[in-house]
Copies of this chain bind each other. A is one copy, B any other.
Amino acid sequence: MSGSAERPGLACDGANPLALERQLCFALYAASRAMTRAYQPMLQALDITYPQYLVLLVLWERDGTVAAGDDGAAISVGALGRQLMLDSGTLTPLLKRMEIRGLLDRRRGTEDERVTVVTLTDAGRALRPQALAWVEKQRDSTKLTHRDVKELHAGLWKLLEALGGDLP
């Protein structure tokens, strides 16, 4: 192998606008997967997947803001998809698996027969304390400052808003 005579246009790494580590898109992509990996211990303990956990976050949240006993955690597939920014092609099979696991119920709306309404079960409700405990524990053991996390969070939402026009 020779080893000399570099290509002219790209000789200096620092000048390459397509360098992997310079891409915001790659940092996002890698960080998102690393974060999902970090959640694996809890997810395995609860025997759910990461997007299933996100569905539960939505159901738990609604469950907490409504009258006790009343089925306020009920939400349509469409509304769920809008919150999670996921479409029915992703949600339908995912929700079916969660239904089989006994974490939620799926039935057709009584007023509008087109909608499928998802409802949290007691089994699904029962996972919340474990998830909460784990999340609080992680919050304490993270190597990032509270300020770093807050700034990152704000920056990500700003990015989401900037890209919002391309939402599904």
Contact = CB atoms under 8 A, between A and B. Distances in A.
Nearest to A2: B67
A151 interface: yes
A142 interface: yes
Contacts of A60: 18
A28 B35 contact: yes
Contact of A28 (B17, B32, B70): B32
Nearest to A136: B17
A144 B158 contact: yes
A135 B17 contact: yes
Contacts of A2: 67, 69-70
Contacts of A35: 24-25, 28-29, 159, 163
A77 interface: no
Interface in A23-40: 23-39
A159 B132 contact: no
Specify how many copies of this chain sit in the oligomer: 2
A83 B20 contact: yes
A54 B85 CA distance: 24
A57 interface: yes
Contact of A57 (B11, B18, B66): B18
20 contacts: A3-B67, A7-B68, A11-B65, A16-B64, A18-B60, A18-B61, A18-B131, A18-B132, A20-B57, A20-B83, A20-B84, A24-B156, A30-B156, A31-B159, A34-B85, A34-B159, A35-B163, A142-B162, A148-B158, A155-B155
Given A10-B64, A13-B65, A34-B159, 8 more contacts: A3-B67, A6-B68, A11-B65, A17-B132, A26-B54, A27-B160, A29-B36, A148-B155
